[in-house]
Amino acid sequence: MNQSTSTVINTILTVALRNLLAHRRRTFLTIGAIAVGLASLIFLWGFNEGLHRNMLGNFQDAIIGSIQIHHQGFFQHPELSKAIANPQKVVAALRQADVSRYSMRLESFGLAASDITTQGVMLIGMDPLREGEVTQLGKRIGIGRFLAPEDEYTIILGATTANNLQVKLGDEVVIIGYDRFGAMLAESFTLIGIITSGEMGLDKGMAITTLATLQQMVDMPDRVTTVVIGSDESRVPALTAELEAALQGERLEVMPWYAMFPVMKEWVSLHNGFLYLFLGVVLFIVLAGELNTLLISMLERTREFGVLMAIGTTGYQIAAILLVEAVVIGIVGIVSGILLGYVIVLFTGKYGIDLSILLGSTSRFYVDPLIHPHLKLDHLGITSGVILVASIFAGLYPAWRASKLQPVEAIRNG
Amino acid sequence: MGNNQDSSIIDLRNLHKCYWVGTMPFPALHGLNLEIAAGEFAVVAGRSGSGKSTLLNIVGALESADSGSVEVLGQDILGMNSDQRTQFRLRNIGFVFQAYNLVRVFTARENVAYVCQLQGKSRKESMEIANHWLHEVEIGHLGYRRPDQLSGGQQQRVAVARALASNPKLILADEPTANLDSTTGRRLIRLMHELNHRFGTTFLISSHDPDVKQAAGRLIKLADGQIVDSWDEVPEPPQSLSSSCPSSHLPLGERVRNYIKLKRQSRGGKRRGGNQRRS
Ligand SMILES: Nc1ncnc2c1ncn2[C@@H]1O[C@H](COP(=O)(O)OP(=O)(O)O)[C@@H](O)[C@H]1O
Ligand SMILES: [Mg+2]
């Protein structure tokens, strides 16, 4: 029985494959439609992923890093009185977690004043040596230079702020701040650099000096409010959990970038949602195209199927012929789609896609004009799997109809 | 002939069959009795519409009948379900249809081998059997050709070879020569007759072709769904359409639709009667 079953299966496979080959043009057009649909989806996923990596990377690199640790409640209400009680504990936890890219900051609010006017600013004291480990702020100084370790009372302003204050490099800027008890302080700084990132958040309302200078100004030697950590995107959730566990009971908050700026995360989800919508559209086209092909193929063989049933072929065997055709079309289409899509992603990923024509220099926000598509396996798997299922579904209806044929009618009307 | 139960291969008793188009009955067979013995070469003749195809399809377990009994190879065909019929056809009956019998994407040999493979024989064995039967129908050298590379007569020979390849007791051929020119048709019939002689396979062939009738070992004359002894005989018409096609044989769906229609008519009739505008 086993031997004979396999003979029957072989025979059915042969009928199906021969038929696909007999109608080469129709078969390859259908396969081509699936392949092109899948390849474009794969490319879009890759492009999307590249865009997100680029954008999220730049967003984190700009100033916020991947994860920040503060005293509880500091992110919502930054006050100097909420400095980190024991930075050494944090450093120990970071070592334990094998994190080497981190930097300390002291953050507060203040006013920047020139002879003309004053501007509210976020006052940040940075470690000039370690900051480069976690952000690329140093590379965004369009005019002048970044902080140096030996600097004292030097300051960097965003382009918009500098413009409003009408100050230029070397000019004096007075910073008015408050110490942790609320007493007013004022110091004079020399402008050494201007941030010209094109990003509103950075160009406006930033005043950056060295950590040591700010600690001295507010009389908080060795105190910090913020530990900024740089991490691989894929490790962020796990690292956050690890640090939270390690620092339990220290009255600290461990915040990944997406907890601080959930909008960014939602934006990524929204983008992915659009792609799922597009997946639906491609799915529909694939389904309709293949259904059409198989239905035509079934209808023009009605008589042949009728004869085959008359001489002893069962309805299931007839259905199997059409299902095999559907599956073969689906699998060949998917394999070629994956290859095509993968090659496109690989190629564009290597050389990048230049979007500078589309992105004006000021509206780039966190996006580089050169996008490097990158393919994630789960996206590839979901997309290919769904299209495979769709292609099998496309075969179900013609197969079901063929299996219900009555031989006499099929022979008479076919 | 026919008294010996074992040698009777077809035994039809009081067979009735109507087709329904909507609620319109089309009588095809009325009270047909027929017995065919093993090894016969029988031809069913009759005008178009006389019921030849219906008869062959019922004998071939392709169609059901309304009433009567159908025994083929001692088995009650009407009592079988669809799967049993399929198996019955595969094991016991060879078919030759009027035209386009073959799978287009298969060679002649593969077409013949197909039934053997369906029966579970290996591809190799099936191909050997196919070769054998293609030689028997005198086109052994054309086994590698596809149907579209064969003439109509050659295609019918492939169909005959396929019908024989499953080693059936009975071959049913519904107007096998209708699409052939008369010389080719005559040759095909002669070939079938020869095969019938040599292998003892029973043939039941339908045709309205005089050449075929001439070759018949036994001629069964069919007129208006009944067997007649001579063409001069006018078959007795059934008493009425409703007696030969009782509406109890109307398909269930149609019966329900019919019932609803009658209901609606009687209701609508009353309403119309109530507010008649004609005066
Ligand atoms: N599917 C059908 N629907 C309705 N009437 C049919 C159908 N098949 C056959 N008939 C009718 O049954 C009668 C016998 O038909 P058939 O067996 O095909 O005759 P033949 O093969 O001798 O030409 C004819 O009157 C024909 O019109
Ligand atoms: Mg007919």
Q: Give the residue-averaged pLDDT of A72-82.
A: 90
Q: Chain-wide mean pLDDT for chain B? A: 88
Q: Give the residue-averaged pLDDT of B179-193.
A: 93
Nearest CB among A21, A22, A411 relative to B97 is that of A411
> How does pLDDT run across A178-187, given as a tens digit for each residue?
888 888 899 9
Residues A87 and A31 in one domain: no
Comparing CA positions, the residue from A396, A42, A64, A81 lying closest to residue A236 is A64
Q: Which residue has the higher pLDDT, B1 or A288?
A: A288
- The verdict on residue B2 lying in a domain is no
Quickly state the pLDDT bin for A256 (edges 50, 70, 90). very high
The pTM (predicted TM-score) of the whole model is 0.80
Residue type, B146: R
**Do B111 and B102 form a contact (C-beta atoms < 8 A)?**
yes
Rounded to the nearest angstrom, the distance between the alpha carbon of B260 and the centre of ligand 1 is 28
- The verdict on residue B1 lying in a domain is no
Q: What is the pLDDT of residue B278?
A: 43
Core vs surface per residue A328-362: b (16+ CB within 10 A) or e: bbbbbbbebbbebbbebbeebbeeeeebeeebeee
Quickly state the pLDDT bin for B239 (edges 50, 70, 90). low
Residues A115 and A201 in one domain: yes
Q: What's the total number of domains in chain A?
A: 2
Domain boundary among the residues A174, A209, A230 is at A230
> What CATH number is associated with residue B190?
3.40.50.300
Name every residue in A having a CB less than 8 A away from some CB of B: 1, 3-5, 7-8, 10-11, 14-15, 18-19, 21-22, 303-304, 307-315, 317, 407-408, 411
The secondary structure element, H or E, covering residue A130 is none
CA distance B208 to B217: 15
Nearest-neighbour CA in chain B from A393: distance (Å): 25
Q: What is the pLDDT of residue B275?
A: 47
Share of chain A above pLDDT 70, in %: 96
CA distance B224 to B236: 9
Quickly state the pLDDT bin for A364 (edges 50, 70, 90). low
Structural domain that includes position A142: 67-230
Cβ distance A7 to B120 less than 8 Å, yes or no, reads yes
Does residue A200 carry a pLDDT above 70? no
- The verdict on residue B3 lying in a domain is no
Tokens of A152: 């004292």
- The ligand placed nearest to the CA atom of residue A408 is 1
Mutate to test the interface with B, among A311, A317, A405, A406 (most CBs of B within 10 A): A311
Residues A214 and A354 in one domain: no
CA distance B15 to B225: 10
Nearest-neighbour CA in chain B from A413: distance (Å): 12
For tokens 């989800």, the residue is: A269
Rounded (10°) angle between helices B108-118 and B123-136: 130
Residues A176 and A192 in one domain: yes
> How does pLDDT run across B25-81, given as a tens digit for each residue?
888 998 899 999 999 999 999 999 999 999 999 999 999 999 899 999 999 999 999
**Do A133 and A102 form a contact (C-beta atoms < 8 A)?**
yes
The ipTM is: 0.88
Residues B189 and B265 in one domain: no
**Do A195 and A157 form a contact (C-beta atoms < 8 A)?**
yes
Does residue B270 carry a pLDDT above 60? no
Q: Which residue has the higher pLDDT, B204 or A202?
A: B204
Residues B140 and B266 in one domain: no
Q: What is the pLDDT of residue A197?
A: 74
Nearest CB among B62, B83, B102 relative to A310 is that of B62
Q: Give the residue-averaged pLDDT of A105-110.
A: 92
Q: Give the residue-averaged pLDDT of A27-41.
A: 93
Comparing CA positions, the residue from B39, B173, B168 lying closest to residue B95 is B173
Ligand 1: lining residues by beta carbon, under 6 Å: B 19, 21, 26, 28, 46, 48-54
- The verdict on residue B232 lying in a domain is yes
Residues A272 and A190 in one domain: no
- The verdict on residue B69 lying in a domain is yes
Residues B154 and B253 in one domain: no
Residues A219 and A269 in one domain: no
Residues B273 and B183 in one domain: no
Cβ distance B106 to A313 less than 8 Å, yes or no, reads no
Q: What's the total number of domains in chain B?
A: 2
Residues A207 and A354 in one domain: no
Residues B143 and B254 in one domain: no
Cβ distance A314 to B86 less than 8 Å, yes or no, reads yes
Sign of CA dihedral B154, B160, B164, B165: positive
CB–CB contacts below 8 A, A to B:
81
Does residue B259 carry a pLDDT above 80? no
Residues B190 and B216 in one domain: yes
Rounded to the nearest angstrom, the distance between the alpha carbon of B16 and the centre of ligand 1 is 13
Residues A29 and A81 in one domain: no
Tokens of B156: 């019918």
Residues B64 and B172 in one domain: yes
Structural domain that includes position B264: 249-279
Residues B13 and B82 in one domain: yes
Residues A95 and A188 in one domain: yes
Residues B54 and B84 in one domain: yes
Q: Give the CA dihedral A124, A126, A128, A129, nearest 10 degrees.
A: -160
